[in-house]
Structure 1
Amino acid sequence: MRPPPGLEDTIGPGKVFKLRKAIYGLKQSPRAWYHKLSSTLLDKGFRRSEADHTLFTYPSQRGNIVILIYVDDIIISGNDKVGIQDTKQYLRSIFDIKDLGELKYFLGIEVCRSEEGVFLSQRKYTLDLLKDVGKLGARPVETPLEEKYKSNRKGESNEALFEDVKQYRRLVVKLIYLTITRPDICFAVNQVSQHMQKPTVLHWEMVSRILKYLKGAPGQGIWMVCNKNTELVGYCDAEYAGDRGDRRSTTGYCTFVGGNLVTWKSKKQKVVSLSSAESEYRAMRKLTTELMWLKALLKDLGINIPRPITMHCDNEAAIHIANNSVFHERTKHIEVDCQKVREQVQLGVILPCHTESSEQLADIFTKAASSKVFEYIHSKLGLMDLTRPQVKTLNY
């Protein structure tokens, strides 16, 4: 521990500081710990990723070593087994660390590995959540929201305030963390999280329906296949004026690396779009930023993507605006977003591609889909429940 600035000269022989509060509970402690840990790794020769400052890499002739840190929890991976053991020994000589062995459980995320791939889920976290709210015996539902759900205008439904606001907020925060491995509830959680200040009885019923949906498949997660493919692809969609309260659109996108789902997002746009093409273009701009970040992150991991990244969009007008270098009266209000996307198109980083609405995988991030659409998109996203037996239909 070092004394605060200005008090260095007050320390003399036999004098110590009396702590009125534990260092672990101070706001400065995470920053001080990160500075100490990062400087230790940098002295060892690791490189800090500019795309994610919690990621450190160490390339060598024997392979690569990757370290991902979250406060005082560390994941060490790579294809240099000797280097990994040397890194553990180096960290053990400086810090008091505990080696938990092969990664199986990290911050509520369960990791199951095999020769075919990796399966990520939050089954225990989901079951604990259902147990806390007494929903283990609830009757499951097929979708987290009712089919063709639309937010109600003011005065259209029961607006009686929900009494226990703290319980509502606590459950919604837990559901937000659950979306790390459950993209299927991303849009539903986005809807209930918009009413944290004054939730109504209707909003609480929406939360209860999400919990009943989780009861049907608590072990569902993401299956990532080991196919040695690093192609980067993105899907984006928008629900034009979907919120009937303020008429703002909802942006949804998802990205794949080698056919495996890696990131996804469902978020209401900050401004009101004047057309469906504008709302779709704002979604393209969000996806463009995400793809640029993923490309930089993969580069830090030693994976270069020389070809343009395919961006799937089901709105031809938005694609034409991206490829057209001439602005006119109808597009001047979205000129800033146009410049962002068009710049990357001209540089050869992004390649907009039209896809049919039926094949738009980002559709479930913008609206409440039917159970049939849900089941189809889940298979495309790589979502499955390993705890549920797979039934195959035989044709005779």
Structure 2
Amino acid sequence: MAAIRHWPLHQLDIKNAFLHGDLEEDIYMEQPPSFVAQGESGLVCKLHRFLYGLKQSPRAWFGKFSHVVQLFGLKRSESDHSVFYCHTSSEKCVYLMVYVDDIVITGNDASKISQLKVHLFSHFQTKDLGSLKYFLGIEVSQSEEGVIISQRKYALDILKETGLENCKPIDSPMDPNQKLMADQGKPYPDPEKYRRLVGKLIYLTITRPDISFAVGVVSQFMQSPHIDHWNAVMHILKYVKKAQGQGLLYYDKKNTQISGYCDANWAGCPIDRRSTSGYCVFIGGNLVSWKSKKQNVVARSSVEAEYRSMAMITCELMWIKQLLQELRFCEVEQMKLYRDNQAALHIASNPVFHDRTKHIEIDCHFVREKLLSKELRTKFINSNDQLADILTKSLRGSRI
């Protein structure tokens, strides 16, 4: 395929997956190794809890569903086990994505999709919800121009729950001059409410990469939140109020170039002086993946922090490339990695290590290996054009 195609998305929902179908017929219980009744046959076990309450029920359900889908001829992706696919010819394909009992089907083979639905109907009590409009709190709008995903209703529900539906909006998710500490101010009297609200904000980042860094900061204080931390959460919500329906637009830009932007904020955390890595990945100019994460160790130099972020996005780029190749979604060209740090780019192309760089030798070797194999190409960009900057620090409204 020469470009990313826009195919219709279909949604299915399996009702009472454990109560209907033949899932329970395929589950057998054996006597535990510590207790074996010799010479006894025909023994049965009395379950005090139904399958829903058993720890192994998700694995049993997915195993059954996977078996049924593969009977139809779909293959399970090795890169992402929740994705199934089949290619009926060089141009025809069907993709199925599953989350527990919610299913999304897409592809350009309408006949095969109809047959797949009938196959699922014959094994499970399944409801066809038609064109995908709402999935796991994510609103989907499809048109000839492209697909827009957002969480407008989800955001409005959070604002209503906190009483901020009529608040005055602000233009930044976090005050750039504020440094949150672990034990500053008075403890917040309702930690569970804080944890619940931050958890909802984490889910909101599925379609709002602009709040990823701020949410990552406030999520560090889940165990013992203070008043200042709660005020920071309210600050994020007032920013969300500015554009509740903001989301992501996906449309065909006539190319399938994979490009990534990565950045690092050296020693940005005032508590433990760890750096924050951030990256975002585009396919054909459409944002598909991003992350804002504090690094696991303290970086001894800004170059080390930058190289750790390069290693992180390189892993993500290689995974995306493997997934696209497996699904035959598009022809994967040489991927581009944009950085605003000249020192990191020079080290990537310099095969000689010395005392100043040997402590980051592993990450250097990993990134350079992909550069030498021509799978990846690095390019320098100006700091003002660094899209991953929003994932590593607090920015003002104009920069956002």
Match of 2:28 in 1: 3
Q: Which of residues 146, 149, 171 is equivalent to 1:120? A: 149
Q: Distance in 2 between matches of 1:124 and 1:11?
A: 56
CA contact under 8 A between 2:256 and 2:332: conserved in structure 1? no
The C-alpha deviation readout for 1:109-165, integer Å capped at 9, x for no partner, is 00001111110000111111111111112111111111x23524577xx43111100
Match of 1:377 in 2: none
Q: Which of residues 102, 110, 117 is equivalent to 1:81? A: 110
> Where does structure 1 differ by over 6 angstroms across 4 or more consecutive aligned residues?
7-11
- Do residues 251 (structure 1) and 277 (structure 2) align? yes
Structure 1 stretch displaced more, 297-306 or 170-179: 297-306
Count of residue pairs brought into register by the alignment:
369
The C-alpha deviation readout for 1:231-277, integer Å capped at 9, x for no partner, is 10000000111112211110000000110111110011111111111
- Do residues 235 (structure 1) and 288 (structure 2) align? no
- Do residues 200 (structure 1) and 229 (structure 2) align? no
- Do residues 287 (structure 1) and 313 (structure 2) align? yes
Other structure's SS at 1:265 match = strand
Q: Which amino acid aligns with 2:77?
A: S
CA contact under 8 A between 2:180 and 2:229: conserved in structure 1? no
Q: Distance in 1 between matches of 2:390 and 2:178?
A: 14
Match of 1:263 in 2: 289
Q: Distance in 2 between matches of 1:154 and 1:24?
A: 39
CA contact under 8 A between 1:150 and 1:244: conserved in structure 2? no
Q: Which amino acid aligns with 1:42?
A: Q
What is the root-mean-square deviation of aligned Cα atoms in Å?
Answer: 1.7
Other structure's SS at 1:99 match = strand
- Do residues 333 (structure 1) and 362 (structure 2) align? no
CA distance 1:141–1:312, change in 2 (3 Å): same
- Do residues 368 (structure 1) and 394 (structure 2) align? yes
The TM-score, its normalising length taken from structure 1, stands at: 0.90
The structural deviation recorded for 1:18 is 3.3
Q: Which amino acid aligns with 1:165?
A: P
The structural deviation recorded for 1:300 is 2.1
Match of 1:145 in 2: 174
Q: Distance in 2 between matches of 1:296 and 1:207?
A: 37
Other structure's SS at 1:135 match = coil
CA contact under 8 A between 1:151 and 1:245: conserved in structure 2? no
Match of 1:383 in 2: none
The structural deviation recorded for 1:307 is 2.9
Q: Distance in 2 between matches of 1:119 and 1:317?
A: 38
Q: Which amino acid aligns with 2:160?
A: K
Q: Which amino acid aligns with 2:352?
A: V
The C-alpha deviation readout for 1:208-236, integer Å capped at 9, x for no partner, is 11111111111110111223421100000
Q: Distance in 2 between matches of 1:72 and 1:314?
A: 43
The structural deviation recorded for 1:174 is 0.4
Match of 1:132 in 2: 161
CA contact under 8 A between 2:279 and 2:292: conserved in structure 1? yes
The C-alpha deviation readout for 1:83-106, integer Å capped at 9, x for no partner, is 000001111111111110000000
Matches within 5 A, 1:1-396: 1=24, 2-6=27-31, 12=42, 17-61=45-89, 63-146=92-175, 148-152=176-180, 158-374=184-400
The structural deviation recorded for 1:200 is 0.9
The structural deviation recorded for 1:304 is 4.6
Q: Distance in 2 between matches of 1:339 and 1:277?
A: 14
